[in-house]
């Protein structure tokens, strides 16, 4: 847009004087176009637009400024005006690389990925060795399901310019998913050093630090400089999460409310609100929130288990059973969900049903847990062979119906069609695993994990490894990269315990309980055994009793209590030994 109100001109001139202060050249010594480029590099789109308008008024052609105007409008978020400048594709030879790159970004923002690809192809022909172009190509590939090729593009960008801020940022985002939070944080931190005024990047870096367990560093990052990042909605949300993790529920609620993200329907904010309500004893409110979230995210096991827990807190045992008994009895049922359903049956007096679920909970989960499909086998979407969601549901139906060959065939076809898709190879791994082909499953899982390594995938990968040493190595790497995952920490502790390294196991078990595993029976039982190994019989008994109260039909729990009982408790030990024999034989 050419005409701007006078007050915007005044603001732009002020912005320009601030951003150029301390430079060797003054604004008057720069050409209007060079000044605009300098302002755009600092994110000062309004000042850039004023300089570009001045260039037009001085007789510079539209082709000379179209690319820069388009970039400024994109920074402003005015996509309609950006298209007016970029859409015709008429740029001077010196600006066509930038112009087509900005056009590609505009097409991506509108969801037109093929058009974005064509624009980036034009930019590549004009300037093939531009690091930021390779970042844009990588983001396009990622959105188009070519995640492995996106990683290659990010690496190419860093080869061209190892200090490019956007390349560091993109590679950090990818590393965070595949290599762990701390690896991602290191790259994001380097990007922030290049762009200290980028508030979104600062918040993203702080959030990654917080998720990595570095709460103090996260808060310092948010409050650095003028502390503007700390008062943005996302910055307030990051602080709310940190406060909730630290047990300061009142502060967490205040920060979340100030962010206004829950009111805007942001699902992560709604989940945090429900967790805060549960911690504060507002179980009815939490139940309503989790019910809405579960309807929108039926495959989210964390939401499912939290919803079931909330129902148990408000006396909703029958609803809990009606909604979750089928999930709990199936392969996707977590130990926690089975325990909740079992206790719900106990609460309504159906002890035989309760025993069935509690027995399942005591014996843990199989290595492969495939969620039930939410679609009908006759759903037409299942026939779309290029659809990851359709193929996923097809494979789930195939596994449930023991049609392993059909599931494998369909999954292999998707992997051939989408050879860079993490989702395609995760689905293929599940299909191969269900068919008993562990080497093929491992290959598929490892290819998927090169893009994203969520905890459920790490568990599947552990399930197809050939020896305990390889499993332990995987767990060590995962916990190093994701130190706030309590379940991963607890399972690694179990691996050390199996080797007889009880000092390390106890340290990890204590850390896991601090991360929310303090009510998991097998963790408490293992901690009891660890205390015995360290000669602390009083602590051993306390943990064993706590575990037994939570899950009295778990053989490991019963064994731990037998070992922890004082010698004089002969009758109690005898009774527990009889109970253990019955559990093992059943």
Kindly state the tokens that stand for 561: 């209590």
Pairwise pLDDT comparison (394 vs 72), residue with the higher score: 72
- Quote the pTM value: 0.82
For residues 23 and 25, what is the distance between their CA atoms, to the nearest angstrom? 5
Q: Using the Cα atoms of residue 439, residue 444, residue 450 and residue 455 in order, give the sign of their dihedral.
A: negative
Instruction: Check pLDDT > 70 for residue 359.
Output: yes
Query: CATH for 281-362?
Result: 1.25.40.10
Let me know if the fold of 281-362 is the same as that of 366-452: yes
Q: Each residue of 145-191: pLDDT tens digit?
A: 899 999 999 999 999 999 999 999 999 999 999 999 989 999 999 99
pLDDT at 364: 57
Q: Which residues contact 211 (CB under 8 A, 6 or more apart)?
A: 181, 484
pLDDT band at residue 586 using 50, 70 and 90 as cut-offs: low
pLDDT at 566: 93
Provide, rounded to the nearest whole percent, the portion of the chain with pLDDT above 90: 70
For residues 550 and 134, what is the distance between their CA atoms, to the nearest angstrom? 54
For residues 312 and 49, what is the distance between their CA atoms, to the nearest angstrom? 58
Q: Each residue of 242-301: pLDDT tens digit?
A: 999 999 999 999 999 999 999 999 999 999 999 999 999 999 999 999 999 999 998 888
Instruction: Check pLDDT > 80 for residue 3.
Output: no
pLDDT at 22: 39
In the chain, domain spans: 281-362, 366-452
Q: Each residue of 208-225: pLDDT tens digit?
A: 999 998 999 999 999 998
Provide, rounded to the nearest whole percent, the portion of the chain with pLDDT above 70: 90
Pairwise pLDDT comparison (263 vs 368), residue with the higher score: 263
pLDDT band at residue 2 using 50, 70 and 90 as cut-offs: very low
Chain-centroid distance of CA 303 in Å reads 14
Contact call for residues 86 and 66 (beta carbons, < 8 A):
yes
Contact call for residues 547 and 521 (beta carbons, < 8 A):
yes
For residues 242 and 483, what is the distance between their CA atoms, to the nearest angstrom? 15
Phi, then psi, of 131 in degrees rounded to 5? -60, -40
Lowest mean pLDDT among 255-264, 366-375, 417-426, 544-553: 366-375
Instruction: Check pLDDT > 50 for residue 7.
Output: no
Kindly state the tokens that stand for 429: 């791994």
Q: Distance between terminal CA atoms of the chain?
A: 78
For residues 577 and 453, what is the distance between their CA atoms, to the nearest angstrom? 42
pLDDT at 194: 94
- Taking Cα atoms as reference points, which of 80, 70, 77 lies closest to residue 101? 70
- Burial grade of 127 (CB within 10 A; 0-12, 13-18, 19 or more): middle
For residues 488 and 459, what is the distance between their CA atoms, to the nearest angstrom? 9
pLDDT band at residue 400 using 50, 70 and 90 as cut-offs: confident
Secondary structure of 205-268 in the HEC alphabet? Answer: HHHHHHHCCCHHHHHHHHHCCCCHHHHCHHHHHHHHHHHHHCCCHHHHHHHHHHHCCCCCCCHH
* Maximum separation of any 2 CA atoms in the chain, in Å: 100
pLDDT band at residue 334 using 50, 70 and 90 as cut-offs: confident
Strand boundaries in 25-110, DSSP class E: none
Average pLDDT, the chain: 88
| Overall size of the chain counted in residues | 586
pLDDT at 363: 64
* DSSP assignments along 74-88, one per residue: HHHT-HHHHHHHHTT
pLDDT at 225: 87
**Eight-state DSSP code of residue 373:** P
Instruction: Check pLDDT > 50 for residue 113.
Output: yes
pLDDT at 37: 92
Contact call for residues 547 and 557 (beta carbons, < 8 A):
yes
For residues 124 and 97, what is the distance between their CA atoms, to the nearest angstrom? 7
CATH superfamily of 366-452: Tetratricopeptide repeat domain (1.25.40.10)
For residues 337 and 176, what is the distance between their CA atoms, to the nearest angstrom? 29
How many other C-beta atoms are found inside a 10 Å radius of the C-beta of residue 415? Answer: 23
How many other C-beta atoms are found inside a 10 Å radius of the C-beta of residue 383? Answer: 10
pLDDT band at residue 129 using 50, 70 and 90 as cut-offs: very high
């Amino acid at each position: 847009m050419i005409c701007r109100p006078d007050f915007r001109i005044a603001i732009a001139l002020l912005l320009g004087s601030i951003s150029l202060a301390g430079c060797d050249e003054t604004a008057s010594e720069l050409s209007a176009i060079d000044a605009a480029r300098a302002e755009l590099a600092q994110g000062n789109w309004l000042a850039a637009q004023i300089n570009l308008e001045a260039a037009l008024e001085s007789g510079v052609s539209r082709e000379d400024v179209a690319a820069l105007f388009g970039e400024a409008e994109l920074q402003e978020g005015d996509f309609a005006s950006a298209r007016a400048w970029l859409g015709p594709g008429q740029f001077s030879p010196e600006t066509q690389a930038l112009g087509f790159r900005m056009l590609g970004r505009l097409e991506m923002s509108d969801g037109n990925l093929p058009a974005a690809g064509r624009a980036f192809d034009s930019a590549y022909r004009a300037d093939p060795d531009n690091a930021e172009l390779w970042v844009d190509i990588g983001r396009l590939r990622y959105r188009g399901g070519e995640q492995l090729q996106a990683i290659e593009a990010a690496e190419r960008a860093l080869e061209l310019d190892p200090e490019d801020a956007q390349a560091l940022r993109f590679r950090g985002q990818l590393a965070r998913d595949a290599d762990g939070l701390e690896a991602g944080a290191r790259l994001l931190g380097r990007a922030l050093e290049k762009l200290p005024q980028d508030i979104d990047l600062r918040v993203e870096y702080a959030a990654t630090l917080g998720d990595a367990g570095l709460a103090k560093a996260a808060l310092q990052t948010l409050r650095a400089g003028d502390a503007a990042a700390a008062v943005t909605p996302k910055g307030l949300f990051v602080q709310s999460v940190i406060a909730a993790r630290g047990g300061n529920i009142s502060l967490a609620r205040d920060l979340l409310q100030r962010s206004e993200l829950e009111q805007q329907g942001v699902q992560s904010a709604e989940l945090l609100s429900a967790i805060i309500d549960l911690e504060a004893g507002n179980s009815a409110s939490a139940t309503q929130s989790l019910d809405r979230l579960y309807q929108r995210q039926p495959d989210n096991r964390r939401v499912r288990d939290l919803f079931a827990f909330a129902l148990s807190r408000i006396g909703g045992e029958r609803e809990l059973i009606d909604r979750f008994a089928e999930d709990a009895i199936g392969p996707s049922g977590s130990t926690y969900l089975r325990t909740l359903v079992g206790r719900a049956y106990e609460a309504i007096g159906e002890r035989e049903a309760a025993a069935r679920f509690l027995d399942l909970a005591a014996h843990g989960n199989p290595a492969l847990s495939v969620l039930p499909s939410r679609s009908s086998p006759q759903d037409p979407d299942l026939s779309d062979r290029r659809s990851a969601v359709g193929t996923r549901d097809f494979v789930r139906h195939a596994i449930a119906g023991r049609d392993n060959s059909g599931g494998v065939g369909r999954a292999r076809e998707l992997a051939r069609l989408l050879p860079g898709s993490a989702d395609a190879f995760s689905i293929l791994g599940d299909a191969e695993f269900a068919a008993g082909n562990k080497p093929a499953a491992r290959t598929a899982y490892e290819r998927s994990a090169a893009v994203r390594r969520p905890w459920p995938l790490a568990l599947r990968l552990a399930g197809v490894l050939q020896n305990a040493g390889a499993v332990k190595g995987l767990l060590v790497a995962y916990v190093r990269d994701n130190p706030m995952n309590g379940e991963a920490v607890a399972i690694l502790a179990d691996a050390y315990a199996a080797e007889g390294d009880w000092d390390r196991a106890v340290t990890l078990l204590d850390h896991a309980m601090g991360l929310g595993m303090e009510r998991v029976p097998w963790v408490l039982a293992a901690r009891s055994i660890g205390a015995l190994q360290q000669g602390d019989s009083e602590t051993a008994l306390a943990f064993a009793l706590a575990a037994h109260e939570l899950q009295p039909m778990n053989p490991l729990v019963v064994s731990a209590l037998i070992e922890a009982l004082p010698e004089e408790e002969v009758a109690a030990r005898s009774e527990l030994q009889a109970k253990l024999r019955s559990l093992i034989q059943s």
